[in-house]
Amino acid sequence: MAHPKRKISKQRRNKRRTHYKASVPQIATDPTTGEAHLYHRAHWHEGKLYYRGQVLIDNTETEEVA
């Protein structure tokens, strides 16, 4: 009968037996910019914050100093 040469730790054994594996994150493409980003997340593109194709924050405008 085969015997392992070294003891396998409980942590390593349990990692193998679990059904909760790490999954690949879903990537979406913004319809306006064509930028790839995570689903349900806002993303920056050229100084603007986009979410679902709309601009939320625009940092490209220069502020006038008086």
pLDDT in tens, 3-19: 989 999 999 999 888 88
The answer to whether position 52 is within a domain reads: yes
Average pLDDT over residues 34-57: 91
Query: Quick check: 49 and 57 in contact, CB under 8 A?
Result: yes
The answer to whether position 33 is within a domain reads: yes
The answer to whether position 12 is within a domain reads: no
The answer to whether position 40 is within a domain reads: yes
Query: Quick check: 45 and 34 in contact, CB under 8 A?
Result: no
The answer to whether position 66 is within a domain reads: no
Backbone φ and ψ of 19, nearest 5°: -100, -5
The answer to whether position 20 is within a domain reads: no
d(C-alpha 53, C-alpha 31), whole Å: 6
Domain count, the chain: 1
Parent domain of 47: 27-60
CB environment 51-63: b (16+ within 10 A), e (fewer): eeeeeeeeeeeee
User: Which tops the pLDDT comparison, 63 or 11?
Assistant: 11
